[in-house]
Amino acid sequence: MTGASASKAKAEWKTLALLGVLLSAGLAGCSAVDSVLFGGAAGDARAAPPAAAPVAGAMPGTLPGAQPSVAPEAPVTTIQTMRVADGRATGTIVGQKAQELRTELTALQGRIETNAQRLAALRTSEAAYAAAYHDATARIAAKLQVGTTRGNPELVSQWNAAQDSLDRLATDINGLNALGSGISTDDSRAHYVLDTVRAAFGVSGAVDEDHRQLRVLEDETNQTIVLIERLLREITQDVERQTSYVANERANLTTLANAIKNGQVYGANLGPTLLASAASPMPVTGGMMAGVPPLVVIRFDRANVQYEQILYTALAQALEARPDAGFEVVAVAPTAGTAAAVQLAQSEARRNAEAVMRAMSDMGVPATRLALSSTTDPSVPTNEVRVFVR
């Protein structure tokens, strides 16, 4: 491998290592998601038929991670160390230097073996934690599928176990980063040994045996560099794969938290679809779009309106058609009655709209894609929340 490719490999590893550190730091604050499981009024509702029904043919998304728990086999590293050939003493300065380089090369080979074993151990650990994570999420999904109570404490306990497994996976990513850092240092040392071997050919006072040993050392050092950079490349790929996996499953855990809170599954988290687009934050318009029908209308004409599944389906379809879409949530209050009654209706409509926004956030819609406004409508008999696509 050339020096340019080695530098490229180390640069790629350093970038991925930084991603792993940032992800791990983000996971430290993810226990706050527990509060979602015991949240307030956002999920206390039952759906009324929307005035403007979502597009026909909608199918709720499937819950990620709801597959049987099968412990995967950890990939086996293909790194096999080599034995550094012995060399006899010649009594020259070059021969003495060759012996020092041989000792250094032997130490590098020992570290390669140790690092390969460490990588194998981390992969085994990752496979076990992934199996435990999917076992917990599959149990949650199965219970939600047949129906359960809101905020079921058994599911909360399983959710916490799944989160713990995911956090341990993040810890293993840190272990991979630390391992990669040490191997990167070994790579630099191996190139130094190679440069020193080649420079020793130009030192005067050597005998033929010295140059023979130097040629053997040069070949062995080149092979050592190949092994080190192969090991570094495998770690780079593992960091990239595990970082992406943990980030995706973190979003899925948020979806699970919302499902446990409401006692039912809506579908996959909408966040990845939104993050994949390049839309800018949505400005607040302060009113409804003239002549544009709402995506969803939720009538709060009774207590405990369950609207989440209809809302999720409508959002998923809107984002499938327009991944860069934003949404305006409008609180609509009637105007019938006294001034005090109208004021109370407006306040209640605003609270309902805020609850709908929280539900949309739980489904993965970021705050930058949401806007909230309020209005009155003399034609409506009760409070409504209308969701528009912007």
Q: Which of 289, 385, 370, 332 is nearest to 48 (CA)?
A: 385
| Contact residues for 117 (Cβ-Cβ < 8 A; gap 6+) | none
Alpha helices in 300-388 (DSSP H): 308-321, 339-362
Q: What is the mean pLDDT of residues 259-277?
A: 68
* Matching residue, tokens 């949505």: 282
Look at residues 200, 230, 262 and tell me which one is the last residue of a structural domain.
262
Position 182, amino acid: G
Query: Would residue 116 count as lying in a domain?
Result: yes
Measured from the Cβ of residue 226, the count of other Cβ atoms closer than 10 Å reads 12
* Residue 122 pLDDT greater than 90, yes or no: yes
More confident of the two residues 44 and 220: 220
What burial class does residue 220 get, using C-beta atoms within 10 Å of its C-beta: 0-12 exposed, 13-18 middle, 19+ buried? buried
Q: What is the pLDDT of residues 322-347, one digit of tens each?
A: 888 999 999 999 998 888 888 899 99
* Residue 59 pLDDT greater than 80, yes or no: no
Instruction: Give the CATH number of the domain where residue 335 resides.
Output: 3.30.1330.60
Overall number of domains in the chain: 2
Q: What is the mean pLDDT of residues 191-209?
A: 92
* Residue 277 pLDDT greater than 60, yes or no: no
Residues 18 and 133 in one domain: yes
The percentage of residues in the chain with a pLDDT greater than 70, rounded to a whole number, is 73
Query: Would residue 185 count as lying in a domain?
Result: yes
Tokens of 383: 């409070």
* Residue 71 pLDDT greater than 80, yes or no: no
More confident of the two residues 32 and 161: 161
DSSP state of 371: E
DSSP strand pairing (296-299 vs 384-389):
antiparallel
* Residue 268 pLDDT greater than 90, yes or no: no
What burial class does residue 159 get, using C-beta atoms within 10 Å of its C-beta: 0-12 exposed, 13-18 middle, 19+ buried? buried
Look at residues 242, 262, 282 and tell me which one is the last residue of a structural domain.
262
Q: Which sign, positive or negative, has the C-alpha torsion 228, 234, 235, 237? A: positive
* Residue 319 pLDDT greater than 50, yes or no: yes
Asked if 228 and 186 touch (Cβ cutoff 8 Å), the reply is yes
Question: The domain containing residue 248 runs over which residues?
Answer: 3-43+62-262
Residues 10 and 115 in one domain: yes
DSSP state letters, 89-137: --SSHHHHHHHHHHHHHHHHHHHHHHHHHHHHHHHHHHHHHHHHHHHHH
Asked if 271 and 184 touch (Cβ cutoff 8 Å), the reply is no
* Residue 40 pLDDT greater than 70, yes or no: no
**Per-residue confidence (pLDDT) for residue 75, from 0 to 100:** 58
DSSP strand pairing (327-333 vs 370-376):
parallel
Query: Would residue 322 count as lying in a domain?
Result: yes
**Any idea which of 38-42, 269-273, 352-356, 369-373 has the lowest mean pLDDT?**
38-42
**Per-residue confidence (pLDDT) for residue 154, from 0 to 100:** 93
**Per-residue confidence (pLDDT) for residue 30, from 0 to 100:** 42
Look at residues 210, 240, 262 and tell me which one is the last residue of a structural domain.
262
Q: What is the pLDDT of residues 216-230, one digit of tens each?
A: 999 999 999 999 999
Alpha carbon of residue 124 to chain centroid: 20
What's the pTM value of the predicted model, to 2 decimals?
0.60
Q: What is the pLDDT of residues 83-112, one digit of tens each?
A: 787 878 888 999 999 999 999 999 999 999
Q: What is the mean pLDDT of residues 257-277?
A: 70
**Per-residue confidence (pLDDT) for residue 66, from 0 to 100:** 42
Residues 113 and 251 in one domain: yes
Measured from the Cβ of residue 105, the count of other Cβ atoms closer than 10 Å reads 23
**Mean pLDDT of all residues in the chain?**
79
More confident of the two residues 298 and 13: 298
* Residue 294 pLDDT greater than 80, yes or no: yes
Residues 277 and 297 in one domain: yes
Residues 251 and 132 in one domain: yes
Residues 31 and 138 in one domain: yes
**Per-residue confidence (pLDDT) for residue 230, from 0 to 100:** 92
Residues 239 and 342 in one domain: no
Phi, psi of 65, rounded to the nearest 5 degrees: 85, 0
Tokens of 80: 């096999």
Residues 87 and 35 in one domain: yes
* Residue 243 pLDDT greater than 60, yes or no: yes
**Per-residue confidence (pLDDT) for residue 289, from 0 to 100:** 57
